[in-house]
């Protein structure tokens, strides 16, 4: 067939094939060069460490070149959905594991299940079970959890000692503490909810206590139970009504941003702030001379006990369309290898759902306390609760966001919010896949 063509036509065909990328394959390459495209959400100071970690993998695998792009959260969602949907997306993605994020990509068949890799590399022996559960969608593991958070109450122990204030263990004691702290001119608890999402974490702390972590797991993963119960009403009422009425928070909670509330804590105007372990590094940087502790929220009377809600912050996923599945799997395993884990913890200052040898690392007491909780959970000694919003469908999160702001403004009852949450849950799980 080739012989029958004129030399010019043959030359044109060869050129065309070369342009189409066929020629190199015809020539046959001994070692195929692979370019792994990674999209992640590291846009902060840790970005440089991430570059070095990826470079480390490329050094171990000389045939692999890594092309990295970083996105903000909203930017990532808009770009990734379109890119994967049109078949032009990256090979590996660091993304949020929630139903509204990775969930709908799984539903569209755009992400690759990782169960075989988990077995091959023994991830299940090394990674906290609840973290793996957090990236399991429709019964299959899709994400390799990287960052894990626990949520609790930070307290400025230096100021408490100076002012002779006792650390409250129960909500009753906390209410008394709020009165004493206010009298001394302090904001007892800094709380800003202008964005709406900070309330998600307060709700997680309260509801994990009132129904217990096991009931929360069944509710979130197996849709067993209801959000419209007296326990959930108590959870909502305790934080968003009772503590506000007891003067525990700064005024104008709905008008104060998360960052502004943190500033109140950093500057010593507030004695406590309820948020997640992701703030530990910022606290250490902003309050170098203060001793700060992170504790589980004081116990609500009649609850199941103090619980650390925990959730996967972000996880690595592999595109189902990636032509480099083997290399992507190797990269993922490298990212949670003991050596790399030390770099994540020591240099990027992340908290990983793994047992990490921190003996040689410089870790502050505050960070060490978080690592201890995670290590105890990895060893099966502590049962962590669940950070609700990362496992709930977008409809439910929207109802949390607006509903808690409305309660804080005094325009909604906890009973109505509990009923609305259940309605949103039912609507949400019909629209998006279960976690």
Partner 1 sequence: MAQTGFAPVADPARRATTGGLSGHWAKYRAGYLFVLPAFLLYAVFMIYPFAQSIYLSFTDWNGVEATKGFVGFANYRRLAGDDLLWSSLGHTLIWVAVGTIVPLVVGLALAMLLWRRPRGFTLFRTVFFMPQVLSSVVIAIVWGWIYNPIFGILNRGLDGIGLDALSRGWLGDPDVALFAVLAASSWAETGFVFVVFLAGLQNVSRDLLEAAMLDGANAWQRFRNVTVPQLANVVNVVTALLLIGGFSAFDIVFAMTGGGPANATELIATYTYKEAFTQNRIGYAATLSLVITVISLVASVVFIRLRERGES
Q: Which positions touch partner 1 (CB under 8 A)?
A: 74, 77-78, 81-82, 84-85, 100, 104-105, 107-108, 110, 193-196, 250-256, 260, 263-264, 394-395, 398, 401-403, 405-406, 408-409, 411-412, 432
Distance in angstroms (rounded) separating the CA atoms of residues 398 and 385: 21
CB of 430 to partner 1, least distance (A): 12
Smaller CB separation from partner 1, 226 or 406: 406
CB of 260 to partner 1, least distance (A): 6
Smaller CB separation from partner 1, 367 or 397: 397
Max Cα-Cα span within the chain: 98
Smaller CB separation from partner 1, 304 or 399: 399
Distance in angstroms (rounded) separating the CA atoms of residues 254 and 375: 36
Smaller CB separation from partner 1, 198 or 313: 198
CB of 333 to partner 1, least distance (A): 27
Smaller CB separation from partner 1, 157 or 263: 263
Smaller CB separation from partner 1, 59 or 74: 74
Smaller CB separation from partner 1, 217 or 412: 412
Q: Is 39 helix (H, G, I), strand (E, B) or coil?
A: strand
Smaller CB separation from partner 1, 204 or 399: 399
Smaller CB separation from partner 1, 199 or 294: 199
Nearest to 282 by CA among 189, 290, 131, 251: 290
**What's the residue count for the chain?**
435
Distance in angstroms (rounded) separating the CA atoms of residues 318 and 175: 48
CB of 97 to partner 1, least distance (A): 15
Smaller CB separation from partner 1, 341 or 388: 388
CB of 98 to partner 1, least distance (A): 11
| Cα separations in angstroms, 334 against 21, 60, 120, 349 | 31, 10, 13, 18
CB of 250 to partner 1, least distance (A): 8
Smaller CB separation from partner 1, 151 or 407: 407
Distance in angstroms (rounded) separating the CA atoms of residues 23 and 260: 59
Nearest to 198 by CA among 410, 400, 396: 400
DSSP state of 61: S
Give the pairing type, strands 34-40 and 64-70.
Answer: parallel
CB of 405 to partner 1, least distance (A): 4
CB of 1 to partner 1, least distance (A): 36
The residues facing 318 across adjacent strands are 92
CB of 9 to partner 1, least distance (A): 34
Burial class (CB in 10 A: 0-12, 13-18, 19+), 161: exposed
User: What DSSP element (H or E) covers 399?
Assistant: helix 394-408
Contact 393, 428 (CB under 8 A): yes
Matching residue, tokens 């502050």:
364
> How many Cβ atoms sit within 10 Å of the Cβ of residue 157?
15
Distance in angstroms (rounded) separating the CA atoms of residues 60 and 62: 6
Contact 187, 266 (CB under 8 A): no
CB of 369 to partner 1, least distance (A): 29
φ/ψ of 275, rounded to 5, equals: -160, -165
CB of 431 to partner 1, least distance (A): 8
Nearest to 283 by CA among 271, 260, 265: 265
Torsion of CA 113, 63, 34, 123, to 10 degrees: 10
């Amino acid at each position: 067939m080739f012989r029958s063509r004129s030399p010019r036509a043959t030359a044109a065909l060869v050129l065309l094939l070369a342009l189409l990328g066929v020629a190199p394959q015809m020539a046959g390459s001994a070692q195929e060069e692979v370019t792994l495209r990674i999209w992640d959400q590291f846009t902060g100071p840790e970005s440089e460490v991430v570059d070095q970690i990826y470079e480390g993998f490329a050094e171990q695998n000389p045939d692999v070149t890594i092309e990295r792009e970083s996105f903000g959260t909203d930017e990532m969602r808009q770009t990734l959905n379109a890119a994967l949907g049109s078949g032009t997306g990256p090979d590996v993605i660091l993304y949020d594991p929630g139903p509204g994020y990775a969930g709908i990509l799984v539903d569209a068949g755009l992400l690759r299940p990782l169960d075989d890799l988990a077995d091959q590399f023994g991830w299940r022996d090394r990674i906290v079970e609840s973290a793996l559960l957090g990236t399991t969608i429709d019964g299959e593991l899709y994400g390799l959890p990287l960052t894990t958070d626990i949520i609790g109450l930070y307290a400025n122990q230096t100021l408490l000692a100076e002012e002779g204030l006792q650390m409250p263990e129960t909500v009753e004691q906390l209410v008394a503490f709020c009165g004493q702290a206010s009298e001394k001119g302090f904001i007892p608890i800094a709380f800003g909810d202008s964005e709406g999402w900070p309330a998600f974490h307060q709700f997680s702390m309260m509801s994990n206590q009132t129904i217990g972590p096991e009931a929360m797991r069944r509710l979130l993963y197996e849709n067993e139970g209801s959000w419209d119960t007296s326990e959930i009403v108590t959870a909502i009422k305790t934080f968003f009504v009772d503590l506000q009425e007891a003067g525990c928070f700064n005024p104008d909670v709905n008008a104060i941003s998360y960052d502004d509330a943190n500033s109140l804590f950093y500057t010593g105007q507030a004695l406590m702030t309820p948020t997640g372990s992701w703030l530990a590094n910022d606290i250490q940087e902003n309050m170098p001379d203060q001793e700060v502790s992170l504790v589980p929220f004081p116990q609500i009377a009649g609850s199941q006990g103090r619980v650390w809600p925990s959730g996967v912050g972000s996880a690595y996923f592999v595109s189902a369309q990636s032509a480099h599945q083997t290399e992507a799997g190797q990269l993922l395993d490298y990212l949670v290898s003991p050596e790399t884990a030390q770099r994540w913890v020591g240099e990027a200052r992340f908290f990983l759902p793994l047992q990490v040898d921190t003996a040689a690392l410089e870790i502050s007491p505050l960070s060490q306390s978080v690592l201890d909780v995670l290590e105890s959970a990895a060893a099966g000694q502590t049962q962590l609760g669940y950070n609700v919003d990362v496992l709930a469908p977008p409809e439910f999160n929207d109802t949390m966001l607006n509903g808690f702001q409305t309660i804080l403004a005094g325009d909604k009852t906890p009973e109505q919010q509990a009923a609305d949450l259940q309605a949103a849950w039912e609507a949400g799980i019909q629209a998006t896949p279960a976690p």
